[in-house]
Structure 1
Amino acid sequence: MKKLKAKPTFLFLKRKRLTTDLRKYTALARGQKVWKTIFKRFTAVKHVKVHFDLVTLVYTASKLATDRINALLNQQQVA
């Protein structure tokens, strides 16, 4: 039995400049519920991306540090 995966719609939202076509892309009033939900989705995606970038940075830095320490230990054991 296949599991159906729901695609998250917030990943497909893109910001459009209002100067592209004012008739097609109108500005949402920022006091509306629609605006608040869209803004929450954008900020959630940004937070996930920032968190992922930080985790990747920490992992890379720790891997580099362990590689350098291992190289120094190997040089000391050989000498």
Structure 2
Amino acid sequence: MGSSESTLMNDLYKDDSAAAEDDDASAEIIGAVLVLAFVFLLAYVAVTLCFGSSKKTMKAPGKDTRIPRGKFEQNPKQYFLNLRKK
């Protein structure tokens, strides 16, 4: 085995280790991006649940549900007429 063959083999091994290092770095970057995306998703869900709807609601008269207050206040008579029809 000559010196040129030995150098060639060393170069091949160096290329393999560099490729492995690149793969490790890529995996770390992908992992970090996924963690950040998950954190932002959790933050969005938390904010949405805490501050979701700015519409005021009230207990629906005659029912055990909640309705938008504005809808009832616009025409209470119509609300009760519709309630009795059902």
The percent identity for this pair of structures is: 4
Task: Give the structure with the larger helix fraction.
Answer: 2
> What's the counterpart of residue 41 of structure 1?
12
Q: Any stretches of 5+ residues in structure 1 without a counterpart? A: 1-27
Larger radius of gyration: 2
Displacement after TM superposition at 1:40 (Å): 0.7
Alignment of 1:14-25 (within 5 A): none
> How far apart are the structure 2 equivalents of 1:47 and 1:59?
18
Which structure is higher in RCO with an 8 Å CA cutoff and minimum separation 6? 1
Task: Give the structure with the larger strand fraction.
Answer: 2
Calculate the aligned-residue CA RMSD, in Å: 1.3
What's the TM-score, normalizing by structure 1?
A: 0.60
> How far apart are the structure 2 equivalents of 1:36 and 1:71?
53
Q: Any stretches of 5+ residues in structure 2 without a counterpart? A: 51-86
Q: Which amino acid letter does the alignment assign opposite residue 63 of structure 1?
A: L
Alignment of 1:5-20 (within 5 A): none
Q: Which amino acid letter does the alignment assign opposite residue 44 of structure 1?
A: D
> What's the counterpart of residue 70 of structure 1?
41
> How far apart are the structure 1 equivalents of 2:43 and 2:22?
32
What's the TM-score, normalizing by structure 2?
A: 0.55
> How far apart are the structure 1 equivalents of 2:32 and 2:22?
15
Q: Deviations over 1:13-57 (max 9, x none)?
A: xxxxxxxxxxxxxxx67xx01111101110000000000000000
